[in-house]
Chains A and B, each alone.
Chain A
Amino acid sequence: MSDLAAAGRMADTGTAFRVLVVDDDPEMAGFLSWLLTKEGMAADTVHDGEAAISRVAVAPPDLVLLDVMLPGADGFAVCERLKSQPASAMIPVVLVTALEDHESRVRGIRAGADDFLSKPVRREELIARVKTLRRLHETRRELEVRRLGAEIQHKETLRKAFARYVSPQLAERIISELAEDGAPFRREPQRVSVVALFADLRGFTHLTESTSSAEVVGMLNEYFQAITDAAYRHEGTIFSMAGDSLLVGFNVPFSQADAAQRACRTARDMVESFAPVLQRWTEHGGPPTGVGIGIASGEAILGNVGSAHYMSHTIIGDAVNTAARLMQMARPGEALLARPVYEAAPDVFAAERVSSRGEIALRGKSEAIGVYSVRF
């Protein structure tokens, strides 16, 4: 029995096709294991149903060769349990039954068995059946790998396409919603707490009147490159880009406990990143301009706005309106912060750059709000 006992241990756990032999007769189990090993497979043996279920859970094989007559849970019960678990449902099970026992075969089919092997087991039949299931298994695995590869490639294509127009976080969310229900933008609108940042190229309208359209587009691209990079560096989500203005949200769609600090750092980063571009423009006789920024916090609604043909996933609400009004008031190279934003991030800016603008009544708002100015 020593040869068979040795064969009873998993012979090769590398890339070989792995078969779990379940038979209460150690001599028979060892013999089947020996035959499979000779065919280049890795065989493991157990001698009762409970041990089979445990072994499959710990080291899922590629195929289970399962005797019907076992102490405790019999082969049918083991087969049913394996087929009812998602992790083992796809593992082929070959039930070893007596040739004349048609009732057992019917029960085996009901239990989910993939094939049957007649007892007494004939070597040629065993090898032929296992090899057939092995080919099926390998074909299925190959198809699954191809399917997964195609899915990943499809997602990557989508990600790249979306990422040209929206922030990486928003692209990720859109793609995950695609996977959930097959169509983007179906999620119900939700009320969220946001920090909204609006940036705008002050005086740019005058520039467009005196510059060729090709130059204007080139300059806008340089400007947007600098400020969108800054927004992404601080993990802001870009919700809209219109004309020369950009809306960036923080704490949305993913929670950011330090949203106000991120928004303030983004404002500083935008101005600093744009500075070399602006200097070059100035050296080439460009008009006086600069980034003006408004930041406010509060509740907003995150959702899809638009029609069946054109839709925008955006944030709307008081915080967004306030940030827009502050941006309109900001001078080139200035950020205007609603008081709660500044108070949540007082250390981001050097004190000498910050001054209070007092209480300001913004257009469209019934009450004046406290505003801080940061000059860069």
Chain B
Amino acid sequence: MNDGAWKVTVAKDLEDLIPTFLKNRKKELDTLRVALAAADFEQLRQLGHRMKGVGVSYGFDRVSALGKSIEEGARRGDRALLETSIDQYGDYLAGVQVSYE
């Protein structure tokens, strides 16, 4: 998936906030995996919805796009879509590169 090299450019004044933002996303990924294992679609929907809202706001459009897929997958009970989306989220968080301007 894009060689794991996702590049994101974020406004310079947000720089101090980004480490915390990414730490929260990693916690979120763990929670998504637990919820998927438990087939807790309501929690998956809520988490996806939250990702959709927060991603673009910080400049991480990919987080919002994956959040939208997860929300949709949870709403439809589409386990395959959920697994794919969560895996892609994991890859993305592992490879995302942030620069500031």
Contacts and interface: CB of A to CB of B under 8 A. Distances in A.
B25 to A, nearest CB: 10
Interface stretch (B9-17, B36-44, B73-81, B82-90): B9-17
Interface string B57-75: 1100000100000000000
B54 A69 contact: no
B11 A123 contact: yes
A70 interface: no
A28 B58 CA distance: 10
B2 interface: no
A3 B16 CA distance: 9
A179 to B, nearest CB: 50
B54 to A, nearest CB: 5
B58 A31 contact: yes
Interface string A116-129: 00011111000000
A25 B55 CA distance: 13
Interface in B17-64: 17, 20-21, 24, 49-50, 52-58, 64
A34 interface: yes
A27 interface: yes
A28 B57 contact: yes
B17 A38 contact: no
A216 interface: no
B57 A38 contact: no
A4 interface: yes
B54 A25 contact: yes
A351 interface: no
Contacts of B64: 120
B17 A69 contact: no
A350 interface: no
Contacts of B55: 120
Given A38-B13, A123-B11, A3 B20 contact: yes
B46 to A, nearest CB: 9
Contacts of B20: 1-4
A25 B13 contact: no
Contact of A120 (B11, B16, B24, B52): B52
B53 A121 contact: yes
Contacts of A3: 16-17, 20
Contacts of A120: 52-57, 64
Nearest to A126: B57
Contacts of A38: 13
B27 to A, nearest CB: 11
A31 B17 CA distance: 9
Nearest to A34: B17
Given A38-B13, A69-B49, A31 B54 contact: yes
A27 B58 CA distance: 11
Given A3-B17, A38-B13, A122 B54 contact: no
Contacts of B53: 25, 28, 119-121
A4 B23 CA distance: 14
A121 B57 CA distance: 5
B44 to A, nearest CB: 16
A72 to B, nearest CB: 15
Interface in A109-160: 119-123
Interface of A: 1-4, 25, 27-28, 31-32, 34, 38, 69, 119-123
Interface of B: 11, 13, 16-17, 20-21, 24, 49-50, 52-58, 64
Given A1-B20, A4-B20, A31-B54, 4 more contacts: A120-B52, A120-B53, A120-B56, A122-B57
13 contacts: A3-B17, A25-B54, A27-B50, A28-B50, A28-B57, A31-B57, A31-B58, A69-B49, A119-B52, A120-B52, A121-B57, A122-B57, A123-B57
